[in-house]
Amino acid sequence: MSKEKPYSCVCTEYLSNFEIKCNLNENGKILRLNQMWIGFHYKHPSNISVHKSCPFDYCVPDQGYISLSQPYEQCISQRSGVLCGNCSGNLSIVLGTSNCKECTNLYLFLIIPFALAGIALVVLLLKCNLTVANGHINGIIFYANIVHINKPLFFSTPSNAASLIFSTFIAWLNLDLGIETCFFENMDAYAKVWLQFVFPVYLWTIVGATILFAKFSSRVSRFIGNNSVPVLATLFIFSYAKLLRNVIAVVSFTYIEFEDGSYSTVWLQDGNVEYFSAKHAVLFLIAMLFTIGYLFPMTLFVFFAPCLQSWSNHKAFRWVNRLKPLLMLTKDLIMTTFGFGQDS
């Protein structure tokens, strides 16, 4: 069996600008620096590209020798493609991490426990009064968001069971799965991001349906008591950080620059997807709808809740009285989270 001839590159000025040296060893491999990605775009199969910053947990963090005929050598977790944006072969990206594993469509049955978990969470919040109205969980939500946003710093290498359990708990408080689980065969980053929108909306739907049924059923009304609005407000705040991260993931992009001076704009989550292509544009539109319909109003709502409440006696702001329960909840969240108004 003949040995594959290693790819040989020429040390052009373009590569020299990135401090890349070619053919430094007998196998014809080149030295790749930390967090760098070197390879070819599918639209430019003969035009080499160098990207200084491969997305976190996609590429090998340390420098080393790679062969341009086998660019997957610079990827971790069995990833491949442009910026290591997808999985090798028939592997699938899993929920909870950015790793790739063998999956089957049998994992679609996970929809059942996920659906039951959503119902259980809503019932728990309703019956135990674990809402932002009483202030018991406001600080927990705030610090859980901080820890989860800085997950690469706190949980870059979970070394023991305790850190794994804690990181999973923090993920749950942010409505993330937190554990590595398949969902369906050949799932990619595009499908994974779509799924991140589903669970918060599902929880809102459960509470909204419960409130609607309470108007027609005295039994349901007695079950939820006066907790429906606080629970809905709590889920809105629970969902805020998760949906904000997801929207940022959708709109994030980077440039793939080629040796001939041309470039291509790609989606940062998967460099194999052209930014604002037909495929990405639909996801982008959904992200904008969430931003305009939820994230932006919620941000203004939290920041200006105390002012709106103080102006509600004026004729021009009487409409605010209809939102007073939610205004009081967001005000309580700010006061409890940041310690304002507490007894010294």
Q: What is the pLDDT of residues 49-67, one digit of tens each?
A: 889 889 878 999 888 888 8
What does the pLDDT look like over 288-342, one tens digit per residue?
999 999 988 888 877 776 777 777 777 777 766 656 655 655 555 444 444 444 4
In which element (H, E) is residue 48 found?
A: strand 44-51
Terminal-to-terminal C-alpha distance of the chain = 79
Distance CA 283, CA 35 (A): 28
pTM as predicted? 0.81
- How large is the average pLDDT for residues 2-18? 61
DSSP string, 50-87: EES-PPTTTB-SS-EEE-TT-GGGGBSTTEESGGG-EE
- At 158, is the secondary structure helix, strand, or coil? coil
